[in-house]
Amino acid sequence: MGTEIYYFSGSGNSLHVARELQKRIPKAKLIPIVSLLNNENIKTSANTVGFVFPIHLAMIPRPVMEFLPKLNLNSAEYIFAAVTRIGTRHRAFKDLEKILKKKGKGLDAFFNLNMASNDPKSKEFKAATADQIAEIELEVQNKLDYIQDIVINKKIVLQKDTKFTVAIPGFSVLSPFLPFFNKMFNYDFYADSKCTGCRTCEKVCLSGKIKMIDAKPVWQKDVKCFFCYACLNYCPEKAVQIKSSRFFKVYTEENERYSHPYANADDITGQK
């Protein structure tokens, strides 16, 4: 029966965690969530099932939310989730529990892993340095050793999150409204004059939103964006930008980019 780990990753943090868990858990199989999104009925045959994904806007990412209701978990005897984040408080485990409850299941363990940010929109953003990444990786590896013991021995670990480092003012009040904000949430992407037409952004776009027209990427309005920022962070020329709005100034033109050092553009594309 073994273990199946379903994962989603835009800039490599969650992919790295999923790969490391596969090394540590016997007979573990990695399954990219994006590759299954066009299937209406998805059935696992594993007795241990894991989910690995990043936190988006303090929630489960859109593609993972689309995937979860389609998944038949009848064979699952133990279910865990591991999320990557910059330290943000979130409601992902609460929402995951609601979905699992409808299937007659529940989370047996969940884990947060604080990692480097891949979101260069804000003025304060600084891409993680090599030293910072090394420090983060040491903590991640220690956490993965802990997760390995929990999952292999099927221990119940449902601890309250006390390790978040990024507070959201009024989170308890705002939390019920986050799904609404998530549906309305949108950014306008574009490629500036540095674009060479290399097609990397189109290749790594997990939603299929980017289409090359006259050797330039176009973000199609009728295709939902997954907000994974793969196009933003894997462009070799840093040509992909986000437009500022009337209410929100964006600093992608000034800022550097981040992708996990152990995950390249081909790795991200391989999820499709």
Tens of pLDDT, residues 78-132:
999 999 999 888 989 999 999 999 999 999 999 999 999 999 999 999 999 999 9
Structure tokens at 105: 């299941």
Give pLDDT, residue 163.
73
Pairing of strands 109-114, 78-85: parallel
pLDDT digits (tens, 9 = 90+) for 230-254: 999 999 999 999 999 888 899 999 9
Q: Is the pLDDT higher at 255 or at 182?
A: 255
Q: What integer best gives the mean pLDDT of the chain?
A: 93
Other residues' Cβ atoms within 10 Å of the Cβ of residue 177: 9
pLDDT digits (tens, 9 = 90+) for 189-235: 999 999 999 999 999 999 999 999 999 999 999 999 999 999 999 99
Q: Do 10 and 269 form a contact (C-beta atoms < 8 A)?
A: no
Q: Do 185 and 227 form a contact (C-beta atoms < 8 A)?
A: yes
Q: Which residues contact 153 (CB under 8 A, 6 or more apart)?
A: none
> Three-state SS for 230?
helix
Residue 217: strand pairing partners? 212
Residue 61 has pLDDT above 90, yes or no: yes
CA 104 to mean position of chain CA atoms: 25
State how far the Cα of 224 lies from the Cα of 247, in Å rounded to an integer.
22
Residue 180 has pLDDT above 70, yes or no: no
| Confidence at 137, pLDDT banded by 50, 70, 90 | very high
Buried b (16+ CB within 10 A) or exposed e, 69-98: eebebeebebbbbbbbbbebbbbbbebbbe
Residue 170 has pLDDT above 60, yes or no: no
State how far the Cα of 190 lies from the Cα of 167, in Å rounded to an integer.
30
Give pLDDT, residue 175.
64
